[in-house]
């Protein structure tokens, strides 16, 4: 029988283990969003606009769901993240040698003819696209998937379709779990009210595109029930994942789901990248980026 001191040590260790199991973002990759200037969401990254942001790159060293990415000219990105005290900003400058629906016809997979419907049955991520997944409460309760509200969510910015512009105009779409009406309604409300905004523009000369994305702290970064991130909280850790999807021709994606060519993820394993346990981390920093 152990003494009280030993029992106390065991209790502390058990509590630490439970705490670690309850925290999201366990993948060993993270980003820091520092306080900075407010960018102009116009699909153009102007000189100096993101100098106060954290810069990151992808995607050869990311997780590959389909065909591995081996050539930066085929698919790669330079990304930026920062906030202005009210909204979180991501910018993605994507290099892509073939743009779906622009360089090649807007083909549909034979098994999924309704992929472009802007409904819960459609595929918001079918096309060249970016996805943001954020777990503001930094936990992974039941099932580990997104809750579909401000505590954890997955949204899509597609290059050639959007909720506001329809098929042919890039922008935001409702992400996962779109099968849940609760999540679908939340996501659609965020888009329609501007709680989240994104612009997607083809780069001059083609061969890629730029996405600029804004996320309002309230209602999209809910760190606790009814409590949204603010500077007064100081530095706060959240769960994060990012996906870059690449659709080219049906032939190059043969054998992959829906003939996707690439789908590369910032964090996680191929079959668990949407589970919050497997996400990376996003630190919301209350102060500016160090010089």
Query: What is the pLDDT confidence band of residue 267, given thresholds at 50, 70 and 90?
Result: very high
Round to whole Å and give the CA distance between 218 and 10: 40
Q: How many domains does the chain have?
A: 1
Q: What is the pLDDT of residues 202-240, one digit of tens each?
A: 999 899 999 999 999 999 999 999 999 999 999 999 999
Above 80 in pLDDT, residue 141? no
- pLDDT at position 226 is 97
Residue 59: CATH number of its domain: 2.60.40.1190
Q: Where in the sequence is the domain holding 227, given as residue range(s)?
A: 4-288
Query: What is the pLDDT confidence band of residue 1, given thresholds at 50, 70 and 90?
Result: very low
């Amino acid at each position: 029988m152990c003494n009280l001191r030993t029992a106390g040590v065991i209790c502390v260790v058990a509590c630490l283990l439970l705490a670690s199991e309850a925290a999201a973002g366990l993948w060993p990759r993270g980003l820091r969003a520092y306080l900075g200037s407010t960018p102009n969401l116009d699909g153009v990254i102007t000189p100096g606009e993101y100098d106060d942001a954290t810069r990151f790159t992808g995607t050869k060293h990311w997780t590959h769901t389909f065909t591995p990415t081996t050539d930066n000219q085929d698919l790669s990105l330079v990304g930026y993240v920062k906030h202005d005290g009210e909204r979180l900003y991501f910018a993605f400058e994507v290099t892509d040698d073939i743009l779906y629906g622009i360089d090649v016809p807007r083909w549909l997979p034979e098994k999924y003819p309704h992929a472009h419907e802007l409904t819960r049955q459609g595929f918001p991520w079918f096309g060249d696209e970016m996805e943001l997944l954020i777990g503001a409460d930094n936990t992974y309760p039941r099932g580990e998937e997104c809750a579909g509200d401000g505590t954890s969510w997955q949204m899509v910015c597609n290059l050639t379709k959007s909720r506001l512009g329809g098929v042919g105009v890039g922008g935001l779409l409702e992400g996962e779990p779109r099968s849940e009406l609760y999540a679908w309604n939340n996501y659609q409300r965020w888009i329609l009210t501007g709680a989240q905004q994104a612009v997607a523009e083809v780069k001059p000369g083609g061969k890629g595109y730029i996405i600029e994305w804004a996320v309002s702290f309230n209602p999209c970064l809910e760190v606790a029930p009814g409590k949204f991130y603010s500077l007064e909280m100081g530095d706060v850790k959240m769960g994060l994942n990012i996906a870059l999807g690449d659709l080219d021709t049906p032939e190059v994606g043969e054998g992959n789901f829906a003939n996707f060519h690439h789908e590369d993820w910032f964090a996680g394993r191929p079959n668990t990248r949407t589970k919050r346990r497997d996400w990376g981390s996003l630190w919301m920093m209350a102060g500016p980026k160090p010089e």
